[in-house]
Chain A
Amino acid sequence: MTAVTFTINGKQANVDTEPDTPLLWVVREHLKLTGTKFGCGSGLCGACTVHIDGKAVRSCQTQMSQVAGKKVVTIEGLSSNSSHPLQKAWVAEQVPQCGYCQSGQIMQAAELLAKNKKPTREQIVAHMDGNICRCGTYPRIVRAIQRAAREA
């Protein structure tokens, strides 16, 4: 066990953990930030997507040893009151169905809009292709990202 210090959603966190523990389980079970979801544990579905220093990463593939000193943001920290343009667009377009993948979808999309204010449809698809939505809300995810880009 080693103590890992990092920032999560703007607050300092200090966690005793094995260095190879995936960030996902620390976020969900130790810190009780359950908005980030476990989908596959192999980096193939995107349900566990969080930001580390502004970059969207799969928290199931990120070991705690890689997190020390970094800034982690989860869906809970994307905005304090659901006011991120993507969150508003997600509600306006009524995107989620079962909703399980949607935190990961939003975090993945937020990285795109942070670096590309007006993405084309092709750019959206290329950026989002690693995130599975089994309910098939893809058409609405595209529309919501376009809306957020428009209204941000």
Chain B
Amino acid sequence: MNKHIKTEAPSNVSRRIFVQGAAGLTFAFTLGGRLSDALAGIEPAHATKMNAFVTIGIDNTVSIVCPAAEMGQGVMTSLPLILAEELDADWSKVKPEFAPANPKVYGNPHELFKGAQITAASVSVPGYFMPLRLAGAQARKVLIDAVAAEWKVPAAELTTDKSFVIHKKSNRRISYGDVAKFAKVPDEPPKVTEADLKKPKDFKLIGRKDIGRVDVPLKANGTAKYGIDVQVEGMVYASVLEAPVDGAKVEVLNADEVGKIKGVTKVLPLPFGVAVLGDTVEATRAGRNALKVKWDTTGAAAANTDSAKAKQDYAAKGKDPNATAIAEYKVGDSAAALSGAAKTLEAAYWSEYCYHAQMEPMNAVAKVAEDGQSAEIWTGTQFGALAAGIISGILKTTPDKIKINQQMLGGGYGRRIWPDAAIQATVISNITKKPIKLILTREDDIAAARPRPMTHHVLKAGLDKDGKLVGWHHRLVSENVDAVAAPPRFQATGGKDYIGARGLDQAFYAIPNATCEYVREVRGMRVHAWRGIGAGYNKFASESFLDEVAAATGKDPLALRLELTKDQPRASAVIKAVAEMSDFKKKRKDHGLGIAFSDYHGAFSAGVAEISLDKKTGKLKVHNFWVAADPGLVIQPDHVHGQLESAVVYGLSAALLEELTVKDGAIQQTGFADYQVLRMSDLPEIHTRIVTSDNPPAGMGEIGVVTVAPAIANALFQLTGKRIRALPMSPERVKQALA
């Protein structure tokens, strides 16, 4: 039974559309024209350029479209809640729905994405915040105007509360659902500007500790639907063994042998690997496990990549004065400052390839139409619009012919930006003309990893005669993530790496001369965004090295950071907060304390680790981790704490355990036996604090990751006087550092 009818706005309409269905109202706020026009839409004063979508049913249901993907970061709650706040909706009546892939309507206007409909980089809340508020306020105004006309009272005498329009003078109230029964759409809808929005003190939903996430109950009883849970009529199962490196071709394949396995219906060599089709999952897995493939890697860029051997090349590039270096951050003249310094320091840092290890292996269901001109996809994706674009290219049709049915994501962390499973399922469905449910095995998921890159860092610091930090040089040597994951941006920036170089800057430290540059390695690996992106390793290197500076000048690491941030109140506040939380100045017997600071896309955070060390085994134990963060305006306070806890665990896992090794371009690890992630027994006490500030909201999905590794390395230094300069800080590496 359709309780209300939703009418989707055509994507080429530039004016707002307000459709009255038989049983409800739909407000659609659309952007017209090219994507570049969408950029202009971030002008908050232009209320007509909004991307949002709300439907009010006569049963009082308020359906609000969530334009971003839900992967545990909470946007399925926070984004509709922002709109509901300005609409003055009864939160208990709000039903969030996932948006279709349609960037013209649902793109994120944040400057980072310029209208692309992608969920990444912790910018969903900051990017959609103002458009959703304006959309909610405008819908509210339409409802008020409709009631004013119906009751013949001035609109100014009407107020709203919990999905009711109220006329206090005549003691009348009417529910939004009842208004939806008669409301008419004005051709020229009311203008709304920032001035019409609520003041923070009037918020009824934003900032409430008692409003839980809408997906939590579904995830406590097994009813939340992920991509892997989808079943469609007539579907065939598939398992795909991806080529170990991009560009490798199948040379020898035991297709006949595998085809004889009971339940296996087809074995297909394809450009991206080998697909085994079957009547059941278990048949495709049996078939997959029986595959014997010889790959021809001639011409494959990654075929000779060996992560251990590559290190000497990385190290050489780190030191090579003639290497092509792209400045990602520059103030003053660091070369002059370093050559004129009374004292200089230099150190090299490393980090290894990392795997997302999302708990839901990559999967998708694809159903290509008989004529091959359209397709329907069911999957959990961070970038459905990219999937639609690529798939339409494969089918030689247009993106609007590709329907992406967004599902919950069983972990994203960047892995579900690249829609490999959806592409592969589509290719197979196009060949077989049957719906395909593709599920990778865990072994194949790790083999098909889109890893965080291996990185090398050379840092130099110059100190004047008083020990003041006057020069800073940070060179990152790595594969370029943008070149793989965001080629248009890579081209547009002349070869920069937004993803990989994030956090390379020193924008919040008063260092008068600093150059932070990037030198590219080309290894052909499928490097991608990974929770915290470049900040994860860049801040490990720079925040560790800053402690080396402190030690060289006899300064306390906390005092040095406070000195460097004395003109940056938000940065300084989180550092002070975490120092207070951890009682940082108090030394612990047999334990070390380390501190680190980082910003990330508009949020600020500082962390302190308390560790002990088993000198025999080299194993570090983290006993406590304190983290203070300033996210600006807080939408969901309890969930901000939850995100910080989550990010600290993710950061601990990366700091202590995680490492992919590569031989001949192929990842050597096969699953959770040889790629360990943090388990409960290694969980420290995690203490979180929100430092409030009167600033726009920032995203909270990633910032908590960033300070963990450097804080631990700095704690090890305080404890032992020894510096560890490589991630992960495995027992072997710790022992090397102590030797």
List A residues at the B interface (Cβ < 8 Å). 18, 21-22, 25, 28-30, 32-42, 44-45, 47, 74-76, 78-79, 82, 87, 90-91, 94-103, 106, 125-126, 128-142
The CA-CA distance from A22 to B289 in the complex, in Å, is 15
Whether B360 pairs with A34 at a CB distance below 8 angstroms is: no
Whether B649 pairs with A138 at a CB distance below 8 angstroms is: yes
The smallest C-beta distance from B239 to any residue of chain A, in angstroms, reads 11
> Which residue among B359, B360, B408, B410 has the maximum number of chain A CB atoms within 10 Å of its CB?
B359
Whether A94 pairs with B219 at a CB distance below 8 angstroms is: no
* Stretch of B107-115, B220-228, B481-489 with 4 or more beta carbons under 8 angstroms from chain A: B220-228
Whether B672 pairs with A45 at a CB distance below 8 angstroms is: yes
The CA-CA distance from A96 to B638 in the complex, in Å, is 13
Whether A98 pairs with B262 at a CB distance below 8 angstroms is: no
On chain B, the residues within 8 Å of A42 by CB distance are: 442, 671-673
Task: Identify 9 new A-B residue pairs, CB closer than 8 A, beyond the known A99-B218, A100-B226.
Answer: A18-B262, A37-B410, A42-B442, A95-B220, A98-B409, A125-B680, A134-B650, A139-B683, A142-B683
Within 8 A of A (CB), among B370-428: 408-413
Whether A29 pairs with B359 at a CB distance below 8 angstroms is: no
Q: Which of B639, B671, B683 is close to A94, meaning CB atoms less than 8 Å apart?
A: B639
Assuming A34-B229, A136-B646, is B411 touching A141 (CB within 8 A)? no
The smallest C-beta distance from A118 to any residue of chain B, in angstroms, reads 19
Whether A96 pairs with B646 at a CB distance below 8 angstroms is: no
Whether A99 pairs with B672 at a CB distance below 8 angstroms is: no
On chain A, the residues within 8 Å of B645 by CB distance are: 136-137, 139-140
Within 8 A of A (CB), among B333-365: 357-361
The CA-CA distance from A78 to B223 in the complex, in Å, is 13
> Which residue among B216, B262, B408 has the maximum number of chain A CB atoms within 10 Å of its CB?
B216
Q: Which of A25, A37, A95 is close to B359, meaning CB atoms less than 8 Å apart?
A: A37
Q: Which of B219, B223, B686 is close to A139, meaning CB atoms less than 8 Å apart?
A: B686
B contacts with A, residue count (CB < 8 A): 62
Within 8 A of A (CB), among B653-690: 653, 671-673, 677-681, 683, 686
* Stretch of B171-179, B277-285, B293-301 with 4 or more beta carbons under 8 angstroms from chain A: B277-285
On chain A, the residues within 8 Å of B221 by CB distance are: 35, 75-76, 78-79, 82, 87
Whether A40 pairs with B411 at a CB distance below 8 angstroms is: no
The CA-CA distance from A106 to B218 in the complex, in Å, is 13
The CA-CA distance from A6 to B226 in the complex, in Å, is 27
Closest 7 CB pairs of A and B: A35-B222, A136-B649, A97-B72, A99-B219, A100-B410, A98-B72, A75-B222
Say whether B439 faces chain A, with CB atoms less than 8 Å apart. yes
Whether B642 pairs with A137 at a CB distance below 8 angstroms is: yes
Say whether B619 faces chain A, with CB atoms less than 8 Å apart. no
The CA-CA distance from A32 to B231 in the complex, in Å, is 9
Instruction: Return the chain A residue nearest B642 by Cβ.
Output: A94
Instruction: Return the chain B residue nearest A77 by Cβ.
Output: B222
> Which residue among B642, B647, B648, B686 has the maximum number of chain A CB atoms within 10 Å of its CB?
B642
Whether A98 pairs with B222 at a CB distance below 8 angstroms is: no
Whether B280 pairs with A99 at a CB distance below 8 angstroms is: no
Whether B646 pairs with A41 at a CB distance below 8 angstroms is: no
A interface, over-half SS = loop
The CA-CA distance from A140 to B647 in the complex, in Å, is 13
On chain B, the residues within 8 Å of A40 by CB distance are: 442, 671-672
The CA-CA distance from A82 to B223 in the complex, in Å, is 10
On chain B, the residues within 8 Å of A39 by CB distance are: 359-361, 442
Say whether B64 faces chain A, with CB atoms less than 8 Å apart. no
On chain B, the residues within 8 Å of A94 by CB distance are: 212-213, 216, 638-639, 642
The CA-CA distance from A79 to B222 in the complex, in Å, is 11
14 CB < 8 A contacts A-B: A25-B280, A29-B281, A39-B359, A39-B361, A76-B221, A78-B221, A90-B220, A91-B212, A94-B212, A99-B216, A125-B680, A125-B681, A133-B359, A136-B645
Say whether B538 faces chain A, with CB atoms less than 8 Å apart. no
The CA-CA distance from A28 to B218 in the complex, in Å, is 17
Instruction: Return the chain A residue nearest B219 by Cβ.
Output: A99
Whether B679 pairs with A98 at a CB distance below 8 angstroms is: no
Q: Which of A18, A38, A106, A138 is close to B228, meaning CB atoms less than 8 Å apart?
A: A38
Assuming A98-B71, A137-B642, is B681 touching A38 (CB within 8 A)? no
Whether A129 pairs with B679 at a CB distance below 8 angstroms is: yes
On chain B, the residues within 8 Å of A32 by CB distance are: 231
Say whether B122 faces chain A, with CB atoms less than 8 Å apart. no
Whether A99 pairs with B442 at a CB distance below 8 angstroms is: no
Whether A141 pairs with B220 at a CB distance below 8 angstroms is: no
Instruction: Return the chain B residue nearest A45 by Cβ.
Output: B672
The smallest C-beta distance from A30 to any residue of chain B, in angstroms, reads 8
The smallest C-beta distance from B210 to any residue of chain A, in angstroms, reads 11
The CA-CA distance from A139 to B74 in the complex, in Å, is 18
Say whether B271 faces chain A, with CB atoms less than 8 Å apart. no
The CA-CA distance from A98 to B178 in the complex, in Å, is 36
The smallest C-beta distance from A29 to any residue of chain B, in angstroms, reads 5
The smallest C-beta distance from A124 to any residue of chain B, in angstroms, reads 8
Whether A38 pairs with B412 at a CB distance below 8 angstroms is: no
The CA-CA distance from A132 to B410 in the complex, in Å, is 13
